[in-house]
Every structure is written in C-alpha cells, then in structure tokens.
Amino acid sequence: MLKVLAKVAEDRWANDSITSPLPEIYALAQCHGDLSRDDCILCFARSRTSLSRCTILDTKGRLYLDGCFIRSDYYNFFNETVDPQHDMVKCANQSSVSANQQARQQFAAKVDRVLTNVSAVAPENMGFAVFGEARRGGVAGVYALAQCWNTLDEKGCRECLANAMIRARNCTPGDEGRAMNAGCFMRYSTQRFYTVPTDGDSLKLGIIIAISLSVAAATSLLFVGAYVGYRKLSKKREVQKKLFGVPEIVRKSNLNFNYESLEKATNFFDESRKLGQGGAGSVYKGILPDGRVVAVKRLVFNTRQWVDDFFNEVNLITGIQHKNLVRLLGCSIEGPESLLVYEYVPNRSLDQILFVKNATHVLSWQERLNIISGTAEGLAFLHGPCGVKIIHRDIKSSNVLLDEDLTAKIADFGLARCLDPEKSHLSTGIAGTLGYMAPEYLVKGQLTEKADVYAFGVLVLEILSGRKNSIFGQASGSVLQSVWKQYKSNSLAECIDPALKGKFPVSEALNVIQIALLCTQASPDLRPSMSEVVEMLNDQECIVPMPTQPPFLNNNPIPGDSSRSSNTNTGITNRLTNSEISFASTISLR
C-alpha cells in the first residue's frame, strides 16, 4: 500500500499487486477528479496521519474519503463494481427540508435529477462528474459528485453508479447521502462540497471512512468519521481545473458571465421564468443588473470534453451576426452548472405557436411564408458568406425562435460543426433529432450542409401543414410521406393547414411545397443549396424544378430516373421515433 501511495503523487491514482510470495495482495488508491495534485497528496497524507491505528495499510480493507479512496485485498478486485456484502450507504440524520409532503417531493425530485445527471455524465468523462441545482422556490439546493475508480471500464462504471444512485436517493429527505461501492463513490448534499477554483485562504475536507477488516474467518465493518480542516499549501491555485476551468478562447473575450449574477437575474431559475425545455437543457428569462433582458440556458452536461468542443464552435458563432440568427451573448462555466446567455426573443419558439391546439394566434399564410424565408436566409448565411460552412445539425421547429414581429431566428448551436471548403463532408457521430435527420447522415454519419437542407425541408412541410413530423419513415404518421403521396396524386393543396381556412394563394403554396420536397430528396446531390432555396422563395419568376426522388430511403425514385437510384436501397427501421438522439462521440455535446 505504501508503494501505491507513493505513485499517487504523480498521477493522482495508482494500483499495484504482489503475487509472490503468498498471500497475494492487491491495492488501489485514487483521488476524486475535482482535487488538484497538491490537494490529492495532502488528502492521503492527512488520512494516513489520522488513521495511523487502522490496519488498512497492512491488510485488507477500504477507506472512503470525500477526496480520496484507498483499498487493499487478497484478491484482484480491480474490475469489481459492487460487493453487496461490504458496500455501504451513509445517510445524514438531519433534514432541513420542510415536513410538508409537497416540499419533500420537490426535494426528492431535485436529488433524483442531480444524481441522474452525474450518473449519465461520469462514464463518458473518465469516470468523474459533478452537478448542482441551486436553491430556489424554497427548496434547498442539491449538489452531487460521482467518481468511478480508474480500473473500471465505461460499462462497469455505468453499472456501479446505477447501483449507487438507487441507494443514495433513498437517503432523502436527509440533507446528505453517500453510496460507497466497490467500484465507485457517489454523494449528494445540500451544501456544495466539491472543490472549485477559488482565491480563498482555506479549504475544508470532510472525511467519512468505512473500513472493512478481516479478522480470522469473521468480517466486520468499522465506520470511522473524521473531520479534518487544513490550510492550502499555497494561495496560488491552478487557474484552470480539469472540469471547471474557462477555456482561453472564452477567458480572453467578453463572453464570460458571473454565475451568481445569472442566478439572480433568473430569480434563482424560478419556474415562472422558464421559457422552454430542450435536449440540451432548460431556458429561463433573465434580467441583468443593467436592465437587459436575456435568455439563460442551463445545460444538462458539464464535462471538460463538452466545454472544449462546444466553445471552439462558440468562438466562431459569436463572430457572426445576422437578423435570422439568435445572438449568443456569453456563458458561465465556472459555477456548479454551465450556462449560456442568448439575446431574449419574446415570442418563444415556433413549435409553441404552430402545434398548440386551440391556439389564440393562428399563423397566417404571410406569417408562415416570412418564417420560412427568414429561416432559409439564416441557413444560407451559415452555409456561405461567413467564410467556412457552418452546419447547424439540429434545425427543427423548437430551434426557430420568433421575435415581436414574428421574424424567425435560428437558435441552439450546441451541435453546430464547421466544414472546411476543401472537404466534401465530415464523418461524425450522429446527433440531432429523428424526423429531421437526413438519410445519409443517419445511416452513414456523413455530414454536409445538405443535412441542414433536408431538415429545413421537413420544417417547411410542418409549417405549411400545421402537423409535426411525428414518426420518421412510417406512413401513418410521417408528414413527409403523406405530402409525397399527395404530390404524386396532384392534390398538394390538401396538405395546407386547415386552420388557414383556405386563405392562401394556391399557386404560391404549391411552389413552396415543391421546394420543400426538393430539399427532402433522399440523395443529397439532388437537394438545392440554401442560397438556391432563398432565390426560389424570393423570385416569383424563378421556375421551381420538379422533385425526382422521394424523401425516404426505402422507396425508389420516380420511374424514368433510375440512374439516380443507387443511394436509395437502404431501409430505415420503422421503430425510430421523433425524439432527440445523440450517439457515440457526440453524446457529451447534448
């Protein structure tokens, strides 16, 4: 064990084994991901001083500390996730939660959210994650940490945390709960306990130790609690931490917002300020001290990989301004959760107007056409004049916001990617929303600007029909297939939203539907560019070509155009539904 502790000074974790002479001994020591190297060394140094009488350094047993973990045993436990005999949970007896049943339910729900978040993120983030929700509406704030030991693979980490989460959540309504498993540690508390960069003079480390000792044939568990206060080794802390540091790209700009200021601006993320909920997080209305009204998005994931990847794109987006693009004003990633700050758009998102039954405002034909044209112009700008092609990757009704004049503004660039003009496509993990995803991207992972064109075509058909493309590739629910059938039967006028009550120019409506069908053709080469779409929409004398290919892979092109059917022989399963999806390398971006 002493040999392992010596190695920890370099890498903040270590494991080792001695298989000869018998008995075999296996040992592991690891610090949590939020500790610096100095704090890691100090954690183990203090633990050895405080626990000098414990036999963990000489025989089998476990020590669980808030900042670090030590274990030794007579067998290879490195891939062990759970050990029902010796795993344990420690719940706080104290509860600051009101005895009111509703308050307790709200607190339990908050605990469940933060534990679910860290359980999902940690396996994708080298086994470590933290997440917190601040106090609001009279319900205490909840902060959580999850740490898997480095000897586990991703599957083992996920399995261990799933078990730990079930047991830790049972500690509610207690102010704190800790699950200490063979392969991981999980904790929630109403106090922010994990380390964040600070210029303060001191740092406190609470230690709860659970020691499993073997004496002869009997095994007993010894719980020892110790609270150790210590001074930092130096006031000059690292400016950037693994998870919480601000990338230089943001630090050197005027994008960096103070977390506490945004918390106050949204009245501590009060539900009455909530504007919407998406796959990336919730959006709240905020009022800054200078009176500016902004939209603040609380992001679901809070990983270093996400920060690095996303803000490389943010740097590019912030340099672009267009009337049909929502402007990103800044961000905060140093608090317990990551926040993005956007310009406030008062009429919320298109889906909240278009798909609401018995809506007080039914969009007129001209309003729908303006929204379509504005969205097309925004995409054309992203794909063209700004130097490199920016592919949005998640064009859909909920990502089109409407201002006071119902001008369309494209929002949510969390999945955006840049395409070098010299490259034909990007090969990337799939991320986006089923129902709007282009076939070549969904099946092959090949991303070009034509994926945005496809999604735009779907969006246009939704705007014109007033129907959501609820099921991709299934005739009973797909707007795409029903419109295509009506196109083939020369009854396109029947596609228009009945709520318009016939108040629309038929010839113009047919042209716009035809443009949408051009955009949703299965082969990307057959789709027009967004600049061509803008021209077709704005130039009444422009002749709109006839679509030659249906918008789904498991059908053949119109007879007579078989030369273009080579890319249409792959089917898409009918089990795919219209829901947000993120696979493989992109899961940390959503």
Rounded Cα gap, residues 327 and 336, in angstroms? 24
Question: Which string of DSSP letters, residue by residue, matches 72-136?
Answer: EESS--TT----TTT-EEEE-S---S-S-HHHHHHHHHHHHHHHHHHHHHGGGTTTEEEEEE--B
Give the span between the Cα atoms of 49 and 314, in whole angstroms. 47
Amino acid 5 reads: L
Q: What angle do the packed helices 365-383 and 530-538 form, to 10 degrees? A: 150
Q: Are 392 and 413 in contact (CB under 8 A)?
A: yes
- φ/ψ of 419, rounded to 5, equals -115, 120
Which of 34, 394, 412, 497 is the catalytic position? 394
Residue 151's closest CA among 19, 30, 3? Answer: 30
Q: At 547, is the secondary structure helix, strand, or coil?
A: coil
- Give CA–CA dist 590/586, Å, rounded: 7
Give the three-state DSSP class for 143.
strand
Q: Encoding tokens for residue 354?
A: 């278009």
**CB-based contact 477:471 (threshold 8 Å):** yes
Of 304, 306, 330, the residue nearest 318 (C-alpha): 330
Q: How far is CA 359 from CA 122, 321, 399, 405, in A?
A: 42, 32, 19, 18
Pick from 16, 48, 46: nearest CA to 29: 16
Annotation marks residue 394 as catalytic: yes
**CA 156, 157, 159, 164 torsion: positive or negative?**
positive
Question: How many angstroms separate the Cα of 300 from the Cα of each of 129, 280, 391?
Answer: 12, 6, 22
Q: Would you call 18 helix, strand, or coil by DSSP?
A: strand
Distance CA 141, CA 205 (A): 20
Structural Rg of the chain based on CA atoms: 28
Question: Which has the closest alpha carbon to 393: 203, 109, 590, 115?
Answer: 590
- Beta strand 339-343 with 293-299 is antiparallel
What are the φ/ψ torsions at residue 533 (nearest 5 degrees)? Answer: -65, -45
Q: Are 342 and 297 in contact (CB under 8 A)?
A: yes
Residue 274: beta bridge partners? 284
CA 305/CA 239 separation, integer angstroms: 18
Give catalytic residue positions: 394
